């Protein structure tokens, strides 16, 4: 986040300047925090974009007029499956909008749920 600010004091930036520095999809969070926390922000931001598009009467189309594309959790799960990773991320869609979403993994065979922090060191390598 510090690199995005370029040495500027966040307290002296206008709302428009902050909007330009920090995109509303939270993709900048992935590089500054652990992957699981960053992905949770990205997933929730995408969910809000989907709902915003519905409210605007343009399902699947973002404010910029471009298609929102596939959900990021589906993209992550396809990538993990292709890599032979035994877990998948659980979609935030089952979490109430006003509730906190924690990224959780589910074993594809046993369906057991775990935190990304509980992965073995070998699986953590694949995940990150």
Can you list the residues of the chain whose pLDDT is less than 50? 1-2
Q: What is the pLDDT of residue 38?
A: 80
* Structure tokens that stand for 97 in this block: 């909008």
Q: What is the pLDDT of residue 67?
A: 94
Domain edges within the chain: 2-127
The tokens 């396809």 sit on which residue? 78
Q: What is the pLDDT of residue 63?
A: 87
pLDDT tens-digit readout, 67-101? 999 999 999 999 999 999 999 999 999 999 889 99
Q: What is the pLDDT of residue 37?
A: 78
CA dist., res. 96 & res. 98, Å (int): 6
Q: What is the pLDDT of residue 21?
A: 61
């Amino acid at each position: 986040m510090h690199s995005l600010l370029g040495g500027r004091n966040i307290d002296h930036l206008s709302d428009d300047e902050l909007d330009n520095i920090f995109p509303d999809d939270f993709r900048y969070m992935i590089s500054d925090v652990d992957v699981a926390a960053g992905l949770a922000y990205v997933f929730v931001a995408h969910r809000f974009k989907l709902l915003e598009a519905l409210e605007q009467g343009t399902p699947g189309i973002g404010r910029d007029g471009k298609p929102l594309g596939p959900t990021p959790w589906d993209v992550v799960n396809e990538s993990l499956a292709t890599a032979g990773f035994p877990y998948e991320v659980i979609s935030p869609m089952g979490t109430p909008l006003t509730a906190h979403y924690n990224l959780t993994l589910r074993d594809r065979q046993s369906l057991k749920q775990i935190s990304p922090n509980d992965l073995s060191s070998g699986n953590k390598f694949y995940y990150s």
